[in-house]
Amino acid sequence: METFIIDVPVPSMGATVSELSVIVIKVQTGDKVTKGQRLADLESDKSAFEFESPCDGTVHAVLGKPGATMTSGETFVQMETSDESLRHLASKTAGQSAATAAPAANVVWTPRATKLAQEAGFDPAKITDIEATGPGNRVSGDDVQRYLERRKG
């Protein structure tokens, strides 16, 4: 059975909640997980809950970090799976190493930041001189735009 990498997003908690804090992560790269298994504990300003795996698979990369604030829809974890019902979540960066998603130690790139850098012809894994101003030491799209402006100047 063919496997592929999916981007598992931070869930949406309704129209009024767009950011969630990562309390604890229960998995790490290489772990085999089953559908419904707890990946992490997340918390909004209204409640705390267990974030569960949408399928059976193997954790390819964990992009969330304990203490970080993440936006609904942002990739929390990448998983390798053969669950065709989740093909719509197939990763756009599946052919790249996990280092591309998190190129430097303790620095996490948002999906928007990664996309902007790649569209400008840069490999996020090789950018070491960018300032990460987002919550939890995240490289945001705005950070990439400032980086690109500096490179032009």
Contact (CB, 8 A) for 44 and 17: yes
> What is the per-residue pLDDT across 67-111, written as a single tens digit (0 to 9) for each?
888 888 889 999 999 999 998 998 876 544 433 444 445 567 888
Overall pTM > 0.85: no
Q: What is the pLDDT of residue 101?
A: 40
Residues 140, 24: Cα–Cα separation, whole Å? 22
Spell out, as residue ranges, where the chain has pLDDT lower than 70.
14-17, 93-107, 135-136, 153
Helix (H, G, I), strand (E, B) or coil at 69: strand
- β-pair partners for 41: 24, 50
Half-sphere exposure (Cβ direction) of 26: Cα atoms closer than 13 Å: 14
In the block, tokens 């030491």 appear at 137
- β-pair partners for 43: 21, 48
Q: What is the pLDDT of residue 97?
A: 40
Q: What is the pLDDT of residue 93?
A: 67
Q: If you count them, how many residues does the chain have?
A: 153
Q: What is the pLDDT of residue 106?
A: 53
Q: Which domains does the chain have, with CATH numbers?
A: 1-91 (2.40.50.100), 100-153 (4.10.320)
Q: What is the pLDDT of residue 136?
A: 66
Average pLDDT, the chain: 83
Q: What is the pLDDT of residue 77?
A: 92
